[in-house]
Chains A and B, each alone.
With several copies, the nearest count.
Chain A
Amino acid sequence: MERVDGRRFDELRPIKIEAGVLKRADGSCYIEWGKNKIYAAVYGPKKVLPRHLEKDDRAILRCRYNMAPFSVEERKRPGPDRRAVEIGKVMQGALEPAILMHYYPKSMIEISVEVVQANAGTRCAGITAVSVALADAGIPMRDLVPSCAAGKVDGQVILDLAKEEDNSGEADMPVAIIPRLNQITLLQMDGKLTEQEVEQAITLAMQGCQQVYQLQIDALRRKYAGAEYE
């Protein structure tokens, strides 16, 4: 099968990750993933506001996913819509299992993803960027959380759908994993897949995540050259 941009079925789009790109945030990351341009920032651990959300034995995690009004074809009204609210929620579910939340009782970690230019796969790129930003912020984690989608286009299961592929495709399945634990912490799917195709797609996406994982580590290495990671 020939893909629209000439990639192999198991090939990622070009990915560029840079850690520590913002001044104010405690940790930050910029990612270009194909034509996606996304920033991630981490603030915290800090005091919990409003107070009644505080947990005695661990930190709480707040995740915000937002698209700039000019990041998509039709101008988007500012502020998160229902899609963004859902993505914020699944991002939290994908990332929190990797963070040592009990290291910071009674505190809050705030995560932001801002999509400046969108082109299919923003949630995977966002999760990937956030976990680099978390590392940049010095938040202790069990592991980084790489993320990547698989899908089905023209009857074939392929990795990391571009916008055109997503529009015409039969299924899309974003996945995130904690590599050291071999656990899937993000899994969504829409489209139609047989049981076999589901297994095939998850397996392929998990392999993609492993590639993304290396890129995350490289980015942190570049930023903290000389420091040991892994």
Chain B
Amino acid sequence: MHYEENMRVLNMSEILPLIRKEYLISLAKEGKREDERALDEYRPLDIRVNVVDKAEGSALVSLGGTMVFAGIKVDVGEPYPDTPEDGVMITGAELIPMAAPDFEAGPPGEEAVEVARVVDRGIRESKALDTKALCVRENELVRLVFVDLHVMDYDGNLIDACGVAAMSALATCQMPVLDENDKPTEERLPLPVHDLAVPCTFVKLGDSLLLDPSLDEEKALDSRITVATDQEHHVCAMQKSNIGGFSLEEVMHAVRVSTARGEEIRGLMKEAMK
């Protein structure tokens, strides 16, 4: 196909030699991957919650060699003027220099911004967090929920690891009840979390879609797509990322796999939260 050849030249990775990419593509054509997974199979996913005492909610997620902490802090503040009855969720991601040799200190780059925003969108749009229930006094005072993603080790597929960590930390978060002066008390109440949104990310290598890309697969990718689904198997967020394109059929394949795998991951999350 003419298109494919052009794309190959266009997206030739600067890091991994072309030959390495060709190898991964040829493997994928046969439905195989370097680490012997199926194309639609996750790496081992380990979820631990309540791992940080100082956070109101927390989770440590390992996805293959990728490791992410999510920590939740709940505060109070003013609502946004256009949503005076809604609590506010603020999601940030830091790709700290510890996590990879090429991560730089400093304000979040566009990679970190995209991770945080896609994770945030999946959770927000699934309505997993009931922001109405986080209103203290309309137009005046609401709860602010800070979700901080701290990436410790980067071995591919940050969005899914961060998404699972954030959702797990939120779902197990115990926020302090306020007294009559709006000051936090010792009493704790769970956050109003009613769903478990799960993002599933694929890369396209040649004509194949690979779920949960490893670092090497990410480096070789033509294009990337994330599909977040909720408990009722609705799609609640999508994000095509990086260079390259998808056909409609490829997108719908990604949607179908995400729905199935999302359900399995929700199972693991529930197990971890017990």
Contact = CB atoms under 8 A, between A and B. Distances in A.
Interface string A56-99: 01100000101011111111001110110110111011001100
Contacts of A86: 110, 113-114, 117
A49 to B, nearest CB: 9
Interface residues of B, number: 74
A181 B117 CA distance: 29
A51 interface: no
Interface in B81-118: 81, 92, 94, 96-101, 105-108, 110, 113-114, 116-117
Contact of A188 (B92, B99, B240): B240
A114 B154 contact: no
Nearest to A71: B54
Contacts of B65: 23-24
Contacts of B7: 97
B256 interface: yes
Interface stretch (B8-16, B132-140, B185-193, B261-269): B8-16
Contacts of B105: 64, 79-80
Contacts of B223: 93
Contacts of B97: 43, 64, 110, 112
Interface centre among A24, A41, A112, A142 (most CB of B within 10 A): A24
A194 interface: yes
Interface stretch (A9-17, A198-206, A213-221): A198-206
A191 interface: yes
A182 interface: yes
A187 interface: yes
Contacts of A24: 65, 99-101, 153-155
B92 A93 contact: no
B211 interface: no
B237 interface: yes
B240 to A, nearest CB: 4
Contact of A183 (B3, B54, B81, B108): B3
Contact of B14 (A55, A100, A173, A191): A55
A202 B251 contact: yes
Contacts of A69: 71, 73, 92, 146, 148, 150
Interface string B223-242: 10100001001111111111
Interface of B: 3, 6-7, 9-10, 12, 14, 51-55, 58, 65, 67, 69, 71-73, 75, 81, 92, 94, 96-101, 105-108, 110, 113-114, 116-117, 121, 124-127, 146, 148, 150, 152-155, 223, 225, 230, 233-248, 251-252, 255-256, 259
30 contacts: A23-B65, A23-B67, A24-B99, A41-B98, A57-B12, A58-B9, A58-B10, A68-B148, A71-B54, A73-B54, A75-B148, A79-B94, A79-B105, A86-B114, A92-B243, A101-B10, A117-B52, A117-B54, A181-B3, A184-B246, A184-B247, A186-B240, A187-B246, A188-B239, A192-B125, A192-B127, A194-B234, A194-B235, A202-B251, A206-B248
Given A117-B53, A177-B245, 4 more contacts: A57-B9, A71-B54, A79-B106, A116-B52
Interface of A: 22-25, 35, 37, 39, 41, 43, 46, 55, 57-58, 64, 66, 68-75, 78-80, 82-83, 85-86, 88-90, 92-93, 96-97, 100-102, 110, 112, 114, 116-118, 142, 173, 177-178, 181-195, 198-199, 202-203, 206
